[in-house]
Amino acid sequence: MLSASKLNRKSDDDFEDHFPYPTCWHDNARRQLLLSPFRERDLNPEGFDSKLKFWVDLIEKYCIYKGDASFSKSELKSRFTRNDRVPSCLDIVLSHMEKQKIVCDRRDYEFDRNSTWTGWAAYKLIKKPVLWAFEILKSNVVANKTSESHPVEYVHLNVLKNFCKQLHEILKKPPFLGKVQPYEVFATDVLKVMLLSDSCIKLCTEALHYERKISLSYKRTYNENSIYLIKVPADENELDIRITEGDLAMHNMSVIRMNLMGQLKDIEIKIEESTEKIRQYLQQNKRQMAKYQLRSKHLLERNYEKQSLALYNIEALLSSVEEAKHNNIILDAYKYGSKALHDILDASNLKYDNATEIISEVTETIETHKELEDAIGNANLNILASNEDDELERELAQLIKEENSKTDSKSVPVPSNIDTIKFQTMPVTDELVTHMLEKLEVEQESPSKKSEKLLQLNS
């Protein structure tokens, strides 16, 4: 993976081909005018303001293009020199941008962000004026060599703000969210998703730390404080995002785990090499050397077992810590759920006695309704059965009457009074029953038509 500095050097080679210059820059006469010093604004206010706006916009585009919110005047001169014509208007441009708080001195930016009110006042009112007077005096004596050897570095505040916003959106997603990791690992992971310089990554992380969106831990190296650890909180609304002792312990255990894994890999390689040497000694009939190498192999294997056990214990501790965090979240969920349920029960006045009474009433009502349905159902069934028997008897009598009229030899005398016939007392032979069953048909008429037909027969 290329670092940001390598990527930026690569972009330097084809800067002219890819940088989004304004259209007016390609006009030679217009470019010469833009590179020339400013005239008095009273002579041409529109031209003065147009030229000033051109350089303000160009510097912002340049910072965005190179992925770095910091720059220097000498860098701008080197970048935008054309045909040995150096930009001679940058002093007024940078002074205007400082007054408008578009840019600021990087030393002032870092000091204002990290100092207390007392330190800020001492720096602004005492130290900075003295340094400024000393720089002026020294620059006059040394003929401006100081400014060239120690150029002032500026920070473009708007560009830095946009870079910080983009970086913060990235930190809300894995693998950054809720992790404590070394700054070097963090910077490497950021370079995989954003094209920023190392200096800009440092500026952005410190700015987010100042805004309490992430937490940083510093250590003293080479007589200066450098970023050691970075913590991205799992919850954006978390109040305390400081790196605690527990976070440091987890980080140290993770480092030890990585070291142990590396040691185990080295031991595995040594064991394989030792096994190969034993085979070679045996092939060469050097039994003493083979025995010595075998003892060394046994020592490596015992060391491997010890390191493996230590690695297992550390991983078990890390797993227990993670489980404890999840258990705490689960218990909090149980607590919130119990409170919500309790509030709902209190608001609805639901109690055990009330629920038992209501259930008992519902049970009694259902039983009463069931008894009523059974009673009504039985009454209807009896009525239907009685009417059905009478109707069947009438139909059978009609069929018998019809059969008697059709058959002469096998006729059966039928009394004239049909209404008084009882089916049970009528003499029926086997032949008659067989014949009746063969002629029997199912009527498709409705009950109302049947009743009308029966009335006609009765009449």
The rounded distance, in Å, linking the Cα atoms of 99 and 53 is 14
Q: What residue segments make up the domains of the chain, in order of their start?
A: 23-100, 160-231, 244-353
Half-sphere exposure of 426 (CA within 13 A, CB side): 19
CA distance 450 to 393: 13
Q: What is the mean pLDDT of residues 62-83?
A: 92
Dihedral sign, Cα of residue 86, residue 87, residue 91, residue 95: negative
Provide CATH code, domain 160-231. 1.10.10
For residue 106, what are the contacts with CB-CB under 8 A and spacing of at least 6?
70, 153, 154, 155
pLDDT at res. 388? 65
CA distance 31 to 272: 69
The span from the CA of 388 to the CA of 330, in Å, is 70
Per-residue pLDDT, 301: 94
Poorest-pLDDT segment among 66-80, 84-98, 359-373, 424-438: 424-438
State the pLDDT at residue 166.
93
Burial of 131-158, coded b for 16+ CB within 10 Å and e otherwise, reads eeeeeeeeeeeeeeebeeeeeebbbbbe
pTM above the 0.75 mark? no
**Which of 166-180, 217-231, 285-299, 423-437 is predicted with the least confidence, judged by mean pLDDT?**
423-437
**Tens of pLDDT along 292-349?**
999 999 999 999 999 999 999 999 988 888 788 778 778 878 888 888 888 887 777 7
Residue 175: asked if its preceding bond is cis (omega within 30°), the reply is yes
Backbone angles phi, psi at 240, to 5 degrees: -100, 105
Residue 402 has a pLDDT of 79
One-character DSSP codes across 155-206: EEHHHHHHHHHHHHHHHTSTTTTT-EEEHHHHHHHHHTT----HHHHHHHHH
The residues that bridge with 104 in the sheet, in sequence order, are 155
- For the ranges 12-26, 66-80, 122-136, 272-286, the lowest mean pLDDT is seen at 122-136
Of 11 and 373, the structure prediction assigns the larger pLDDT to: 373
Token look-up 């950021």 returns 190
The C-alpha atoms of residue 194 and residue 197 are separated, in whole angstroms, by: 9
pLDDT digits (tens, 9 = 90+) for 128-170: 555 555 555 544 554 444 444 557 899 999 999 999 999 999 9
> What percentage of the chain reaches a pLDDT higher than 70?
75
> What is the rounded CA–CA span in Å between residue 55 and residue 50?
9
